[in-house]
Amino acid sequence: MTGVGAFGRLVGAGWTLVRNDALMPRELDPLYSSGVRTLSKALRLFAGRQARMGRPGERLARSLESLGPVAIKLGQLLSTRADIFGREFAEDLSRLKDRLEPFPTSVAKAEVEYALNRPIGSLFASFGDPVAAASLAQAHEAVLLDGRRVAVKVLRPAIARRVMDDSEVLALAARLVERWAPAARRLEPRGFAATVIRATELELDLRLEAAGADELGEVMAKDGYMRAPVVVWEGVGKRVLTMEWAQGWPLSEAAALTQPNLDRKQLADNLIRAFLAQALDHGVFHADLHEGNLFAAAPAQLTAVDFGIIGRLGPPERRYLAEILWGFLERDYERVARVHFEAGYVPRHHSVSAFAQALRAVGEPVFGRAASQVPMSRVLTQLFEITALFEMRLRPELVLLQKTMMTVEGVARRIYPDHDIWSAADPVVRRFMARELSPATRIRRLAGEAELAIRNIARLVEHPPTSATVQITDPRREQTALLWFAIGALASGLAFLAALLLR
């Protein structure tokens, strides 16, 4: 019955979009081919009265809000890319970030008391009405008994059930796309859906978000590009999170960018550098950096909130990302191409030189130009065509990284329309590459690999396989294994000593 229910909800989602004329909006009729235009007119016969109310973005926002948390998150992503979809469309979707319909304060107070297992007056001197309401939760302004001003995040009632229903629909949609749209299979729709579903599920436990905020707060403090409010641990439960109040204005408010003495260029630079420093230097990053989750204070202070989605990168992915960015910064397209092949992003039967040529066609027209001079919709179209030409498949483990990069770049453009993402990225990428390519780092990496090899050899010697074909029974083989163990130990010791000397 789960599959039947999910199919029914998927059909219902399509019907909601049709009724609001948000699936193929009439305003885009001039851009459709004749066949698509005929289909859009046929669908419009089923549109309701609400289809005549508002602009396309307003109708889409209304539809997504009624469809649930996962659909709302899609709208939040679209709202960050005014350069692709148009400023009016993006502004119409911006209400999905933090201006949804709140639930009553009395319900929120009951949720807080249940989650913390204590009377609300035992922790808070005052507890106000909602100041922001998003897809999964809403935030209340409160004051602790010690006088500190805090924000209390409370999950929406019955939200876990909604997320589960949305997840089933998304998984079904991914399976249908994979089956009936062969051209889309390289985008790994099922892997993409699984990543989104898992990230959303983790958002339903605010204890995990508190831990993520605490971890990223330590990471952010090392560079100062961005800040995180301090977690008030006695106010944390599975459905409740209490943090110190974020300074400044949320970027979703127009007043944020009209503050006196605000340095918009530096603010945009700090956003790009904060994200890259988190991802490259520490392998952990805030993966939901839309305007509703960012507060700005003059002259260029950024504070992030809502740490429900945390992205992580392993050492290989961090090096690949840095080398790709470094190659673009140096306009070394051959190097960028080689990294793509080394990482397995491009199948090896393709030509490295041909792929480098394609990358040059993308990079040269945009390098060093202000964001306002770069038609991002055209760049993305060209990138999509190139990835199809070279059979590049979506990597599920990089979905959060790619989504966050797209969001951050869009927000930086809105903060400072003439922003140059390459000059902003340069110092962070340059620092990472200098450290990664230094002799000390290479020797430490060699020491780590040698240590791993020793452990594997030791495990093999102590617990040899039981298979008759590989079991060590010959004394000479035992001596050989011990010899390799000794060589590995010596190599590891030398590497470790060198690392200490070069530190």
The tokens 């898992």 sit on which residue? 198
Residue range 175-189: mean pLDDT, rounded:
85
Q: What is the 3-state secondary structure (H, E, C) of 363-419?
A: HCCCCCCCHHHCCHHHHHHHHHHHHHHCCCCCCHHHHHHHHHHHHHHHHHHHHCCCC
| Closest alpha carbon to 263 in 297, 294, 227, 299 | 299
3-class SS at 141? strand
DSSP β-ladder status, 301-304 and 249-250:
unpaired
Tokens for 421?
Answer: 């993402």
Residue 80's domain comprises 2-98
Pair 118, 103: CB distance under 8 Å:
no
Domain co-membership, 77 together with 32: yes
Show which residues are catalytic. Answer: 288
Domain co-membership, 341 together with 467: no
Residue 197 within a domain: yes
Domain co-membership, 322 together with 402: yes
Q: Is the pLDDT of residue 449 over 80?
A: no
Alpha-carbon distances of 8 from 70, 200, 242, rounded to whole Å = 17, 22, 38
pLDDT of residue 45: 84
Pair 111, 155: CB distance under 8 Å:
yes
Domain co-membership, 196 together with 330: no
Domain co-membership, 406 together with 444: no
Residue range 442-465: mean pLDDT, rounded:
65
Pair 120, 109: CB distance under 8 Å:
yes
Residue 12 within a domain: yes
What percent of the chain has pLDDT above 90? Answer: 49
Residue 215 within a domain: no
Domain boundary among 98, 116, 136: 98
Domain co-membership, 457 together with 433: no
Domain co-membership, 92 together with 171: no
Per the rule left: phi > 0, alpha: psi between -120 and 50, beta: everything else, 306 is left
Phi, psi of 341 (to 5 degrees): -70, -40
Domain boundary among 143, 175, 201: 201
Of the pLDDT bands very low, low, confident and very high (cuts 50, 70, 90), residue 483 is low
Q: How many domains is the chain partitioned into structurally?
A: 4
Q: How much is the pTM?
A: 0.81
Task: Give CA–CA dist 276/325, Å, rounded.
Answer: 10
Residue 111 within a domain: no
Q: Is the pLDDT of residue 477 over 60?
A: no
Q: What are the tens digits of pLDDT across the range 78-103?
A: 887 776 777 888 888 888 877 789 99
**Residue 128 host element (H or E):** strand 124-133
DSSP β-ladder status, 137-144 and 124-133:
antiparallel
